[in-house]
Amino acid sequence: MSTVETQEKQYTAAELEVMLANLKKAEKAKEEREKVAYEKGRDEMILKVVTTAKALFRELGEFKQFCHIEMDNQAAKLSEYGKLRSNSKGGFSVTDSEDTMRVTRRRDTEPVWDERSTKAIELIKEFLGDAIKKRDVKMYEILMSFLERNANGDLEYGRVMDLYKHEDKFDDPRWKEGLKLIKESFSNHLKGYGYELKIKGDDGKWQNLCLNFSSL
């Protein structure tokens, strides 16, 4: 009988069970150590990234306020100098003398439709369903698509503008009244001012310095 066979016969079933249990325990302990090490490294990485992001977010907010002040001052000087249009609503661009740097203040607005738009859509959909759907399904689907609301439940400005392009196609009172109510319900709210910063590259083309102020 070989030595290996002799050693194998030395372990009882109970002893083998204990050995197996110990192996499983050791494996579980190893997995736990690896899990702890991974989660520690992950948390440290997240902390570093988010801490840096918070600092940049704060600095970006401060920089936007700096832009507000500087461009307000520039707007006042431009107005006195006569270079700012009298009908300007706050948006304008300034470029340096070398024509290599440009700062633009953009007037960011948000289209809003009040409660009259609900009645308007009812009238338009009623007309389209009665008079257009059976006669021209494709036209019906196109016009209906202009009335679709976005994820926030709001009408889309671009789509409504496309709807207006078809205003003269029909004379039905519901169609006319519906478009009239949509126009009356519309207003454009000022969200704030955005800024675009550009530098001219070696190729002579303007390049954006991408800083996203939209959420600040």
How does pLDDT run across 137-150, given as a tens digit for each residue? 999 999 999 998 88
pTM: predicted TM-score of the whole model, two decimal places: 0.55
| Full DSSP string of 62-120 | HHHHHHHHHHHHHHHHHHHHT-S-TT--S-EEEE-TTS-EEEEEEEEEEEEE-THHHHH
pLDDT at position 196: 80
Which among 83, 110, 108, 82 has a CA at the least distance from the CA of 94? Answer: 83
Kindly report, residue by residue over 16-37, the tens digit of the pLDDT: 888 888 889 999 999 999 999 9
**Terminal C-alpha separation, the chain:** 83
State which residues of the chain have pLDDT below 50: 1-4, 6
Residue burial 71-102, b: 16+ Cβ < 10 Å; e: rest? beeebeebeeeeebeeeeeeebebeeeeeeee
